[in-house]
Chain A
């Protein structure tokens, strides 16, 4: 598939979603659909879908213990083994997983190989992807957590704290959050590398651009709502609390931009179970990472192990007995 075509289709799809929300709210006035029904449906699809996918994976057996050993395994006591890269204890495995999930350990190993005249290969460290990935995910997380102020009657103190740290540098009024900046910068970087690096352009599908645009759209609409077309936060809270108390209300006076934001979030939620964003659940289940390298010291059972056709020693000796005797090799049957 042509790369630009992939970018284009994904972009058109996201723009269409934005227009749909604008049209629905402004022209047709379907505020309760966009403000209540669609978010509810999206939540249901999200939770049911994610659970379904994870249960689907968990139900499939892991027939063999196949950790990738990223360091020296445990062997003789005087040989230093790598506790987290080739773990042999449960704690080691948990730490390995934690490093993967929290710090993207494997991605941090990244290097870039280039072939030059000669030919010879040169390597350069390439932690940009790691950095952008970390920024992207952590700013995303921060933003989600900051949203908690809409979901609790009394804003939890850690959210307040987070918000004040996040807004420490009081750029602009109202404060532009660092996480918003980091988030938009990271999404931009992740998008640019996909279109600029020839190899990335080659492997990317519309399904890779679509979530980036969608998430970018959410971010942009969010920042616009904060800095440009300000919305009344009390009304927003009235709406969100309505969702949670199952007495949904649609307050008057929320601008279209708000509905666009909520609609894009709904689309993201509903899209997640069907998409690669499910990687968040997959990390935990990956057999090359979540198993201990105790292959030779502990039994591992394959639930569907079945008998296979083998060539027995008796069959072997029957074929070669005379030759074996001639060569002086002991045999079982004379």
Chain B
């Protein structure tokens, strides 16, 4: 599917009124452009995952194992005993509806099963049938139903129509996190071989080559060297490129999406320039060349299998601590799962900035610091020479990625960096930023082309807020701290707000960064002239 095949934005039909027929009696409609393609068998085999086969979402027969119901119900029971969150969230929803119009997929599609409460009810109805006494006794009156093939198809459709963004959980009076329900729902689907290729292929790649894109080590070197050359053209400085360097002080890990696709590459160049300017003793790794973790969109076990590389590599290289780059879901994993799954990392040291001496107390257990924590500390201590006027061409707004905001509370650091590297910064309306932020519409593995219709719908609330600041403040640059966003928001802006470009924080930082020994810089990292152009003297 391509953008020009979609109806024009102003013709996009959205109606939030539910249909007449009740949700249990409305079968799922696999409309083109709103679902993702199944995982290829070869990828499942690499990962030893169940039921590898070729199948099609629109076919009647999904080639499930004979006893698929039994497998799923068994898995259901197991997870009820392992996750209090899951058990509780099955039990305590009062269907007050506070979460209903908080989901970007509901707002953009009007499909009532995209209300978080109904998404969760898809599982709850089966839960009541099989695991609740009263539910079994009262049958449909209690809202319970049998796990049938149509129900399973509904699960597939709607659990791959949730980006696990946690926005609903902010508003729920009990903190019911539908992302958690979706995660478990996807785990159950995986048990019978129902998964999407846009998740499983990156997972399989990452497992074998260390990154989602499947770039082998020599390929990575090529990409990084390419950036080093570009930086030299722009600044006249040949920056260091330490790779797999034993004994370095810091391991740097960032999503591989930023290695090869614009505009992420510019952010990646920004890191290279910053670290060079600081003379940081750090290293990239080809084995741990992925900060992101599509295991998060597969199962808890898969998170752990992929994430294990980070600490393992830190240990092998003998570094003291780790810095992580701009990425969204990566920070859900690094912040909330890594240390529990693969820690304790007692072979590392509590992170201390070698430049400022600041102790990063908040990371003393995981030993992993977010790049904007690191950079804002540098700026705060006056360690960087910055000329924000080089970014004067940009009128900037900032999109909080779901996970850094709602799963890690990283909201101020990126803003602090931005305010110091640009002169024109404008916030989007309050109910669309920080903990209220809207998803880009393509997270959690849904940022693929076949799902484009639903992506544009899911991203609509975000785009709506961007259009607001564009019209009010002439905003022309949407900044985000996430590699997935940089890809998905680019398409989203193309569709809803074509004059707004997307970029990362460290791209703008590197534009503004006055480097020791640079030649007179005329171009920004994208090779476009700075505004004005007469500046360049120290500030």
Residues of A near any B CB (own CB < 8 A): 1-3, 9, 53, 56-58, 60-66, 68-76, 78-82, 85-86, 100, 104, 106-107, 109-115, 118-121, 123, 129, 133, 197-208, 274-276, 278-279, 282-283, 285-289, 293-302, 304-305, 308-313, 316-317, 319-320, 323-324, 326-330, 332
State whether the Cβ of B12 lies closer than 8 Å to any Cβ in chain A: yes
B413 touches A79 (CB 8 A): yes
CB-defined contacts of B177 to chain A, threshold 8 Å: 66, 68, 288
Q: A283-B174, A289-B175, A299-B365 in contact; A115/B14 too (CB < 8 A)?
A: yes
A285 touches B134 (CB 8 A): no
CB-defined contacts of A71 to chain B, threshold 8 Å: 409, 411, 434-435
State whether the Cβ of B382 lies closer than 8 Å to any Cβ in chain A: no
B363 touches A296 (CB 8 A): yes
Q: A203-B100, A329-B244 in contact; A198/B460 too (CB < 8 A)?
A: no
Contact flags B190-229 to A (C-beta < 8 A → 1, else 0): 0000000000000000011110000011100110000000
Interface of chain B, main secondary structure: helix
CB-defined contacts of B368 to chain A, threshold 8 Å: 296
Interface of chain A, main secondary structure: loop
CB-defined contacts of A316 to chain B, threshold 8 Å: 208-210, 287
- Cα–Cα, bound, A107→B99 (Å): 9
B303-351, CB < 8 A from A: 304-305, 308-309, 312-313, 316, 334-337, 339-341, 343-344
**A318 smallest CB distance to B (angstroms):** 12
B175 touches A75 (CB 8 A): no
B286 touches A324 (CB 8 A): yes
B140 touches A327 (CB 8 A): no
B380 touches A76 (CB 8 A): yes
State whether the Cβ of B118 lies closer than 8 Å to any Cβ in chain A: yes
**B73 smallest CB distance to A (angstroms):** 18
CB-defined contacts of B140 to chain A, threshold 8 Å: 1
7 new A-B contacts, CB < 8 A, other than A1-B140, A68-B166, A308-B305, are A74-B362, A100-B174, A203-B23, A203-B97, A203-B117, A282-B88, A311-B309
Q: Which of B50-58, B75-83, B153-161, B441-449 contacts A (4 or more CB under 8 A)?
A: B75-83
Q: A129-B96, A197-B97, A205-B143 in contact; A288/B365 too (CB < 8 A)?
A: no
- Cα–Cα, bound, A332→B308 (Å): 19
**B527 smallest CB distance to A (angstroms):** 27
Q: A199-B101, A205-B143 in contact; A304/B82 too (CB < 8 A)?
A: yes
B98, B102, B117, B410: most-surrounded residue (chain A CB, <10 A)? B98
- Cα–Cα, bound, A255→B102 (Å): 49
A60 touches B81 (CB 8 A): yes
A106 touches B173 (CB 8 A): yes
CB-defined contacts of B366 to chain A, threshold 8 Å: 295-296
CB-defined contacts of A110 to chain B, threshold 8 Å: 98, 171
B339 touches A300 (CB 8 A): yes
B77-116, CB < 8 A from A: 80-85, 87-88, 91-98, 100-102, 107, 110, 112, 115
Q: A75-B410, A80-B412, A274-B133 in contact; A202/B217 too (CB < 8 A)?
A: no
Q: Which of A86, A203, A288 contacts B121 (CB 8 A)?
A: A203
Name which residue of chain B comes closest to A86, CB basis.
B409
14 intermolecular pairs with C-beta atoms under 8 Å apart: A75-B362, A75-B409, A109-B171, A113-B101, A121-B460, A197-B97, A207-B141, A208-B95, A283-B92, A289-B175, A296-B366, A297-B362, A300-B340, A317-B287
B100 touches A199 (CB 8 A): yes
CB-defined contacts of A309 to chain B, threshold 8 Å: 48, 305
Name which residue of chain B comes closest to A117, CB basis.
B10
State whether the Cβ of B169 lies closer than 8 Å to any Cβ in chain A: yes
- Cα–Cα, bound, A305→B305 (Å): 12
- Cα–Cα, bound, A302→B176 (Å): 21
Q: Which of B110, B176, B413 contacts A75 (CB 8 A)?
A: B413
CB-defined contacts of B358 to chain A, threshold 8 Å: 76
**A331 smallest CB distance to B (angstroms):** 8
B492-525, CB < 8 A from A: none
Q: A115-B16, A320-B216 in contact; A288/B169 too (CB < 8 A)?
A: yes
- Cα–Cα, bound, A273→B13 (Å): 44
Name which residue of chain B comes closest to A10, CB basis.
B141
- Cα–Cα, bound, A316→B214 (Å): 12
A68 touches B412 (CB 8 A): no
B312 touches A324 (CB 8 A): no
Q: Which of B9, B343, B362 contacts A299 (CB 8 A)?
A: B343
- Cα–Cα, bound, A23→B84 (Å): 44
Pairs of residues from A and B, 8 with the lowest C-beta to C-beta distance, nearest first? A73-B409, A282-B92, A69-B409, A288-B175, A327-B218, A202-B18, A205-B143, A289-B175
- Cα–Cα, bound, A86→B209 (Å): 36
Q: A71-B434, A86-B409, A299-B365 in contact; A329/B286 too (CB < 8 A)?
A: yes
Q: Which of B15, B141, B243 contacts A329 (CB 8 A)?
A: B243
B409 touches A81 (CB 8 A): yes
State whether the Cβ of B245 lies closer than 8 Å to any Cβ in chain A: yes
CB-defined contacts of B304 to chain A, threshold 8 Å: 308
B107 touches A330 (CB 8 A): no
CB-defined contacts of B460 to chain A, threshold 8 Å: 119, 121
CB-defined contacts of A81 to chain B, threshold 8 Å: 409
State whether the Cβ of B301 lies closer than 8 Å to any Cβ in chain A: yes
CB-defined contacts of A327 to chain B, threshold 8 Å: 217-218, 221-222
B405 touches A69 (CB 8 A): yes
- Cα–Cα, bound, A305→B361 (Å): 26
B340 touches A297 (CB 8 A): no
B286 touches A66 (CB 8 A): no
B22 touches A72 (CB 8 A): no
CB-defined contacts of A199 to chain B, threshold 8 Å: 16-18, 97, 100-101, 112, 115
Q: Which of A80, A197, A201, A313 contacts B313 (CB 8 A)?
A: A313
- Cα–Cα, bound, A200→B460 (Å): 23
CB-defined contacts of B94 to chain A, threshold 8 Å: 208, 276, 279
**A8 smallest CB distance to B (angstroms):** 11
**A327 smallest CB distance to B (angstroms):** 4
**B434 smallest CB distance to A (angstroms):** 7
CB-defined contacts of B91 to chain A, threshold 8 Å: 53, 57, 276, 278, 282
Q: A60-B87, A206-B141 in contact; A76/B373 too (CB < 8 A)?
A: yes
- Cα–Cα, bound, A133→B174 (Å): 13
B362 touches A121 (CB 8 A): no
State whether the Cβ of B187 lies closer than 8 Å to any Cβ in chain A: no
CB-defined contacts of B467 to chain A, threshold 8 Å: 120
A109 touches B170 (CB 8 A): yes
- Cα–Cα, bound, A295→B362 (Å): 8
A68, A204, A208, A305: most-surrounded residue (chain B CB, <10 A)? A68
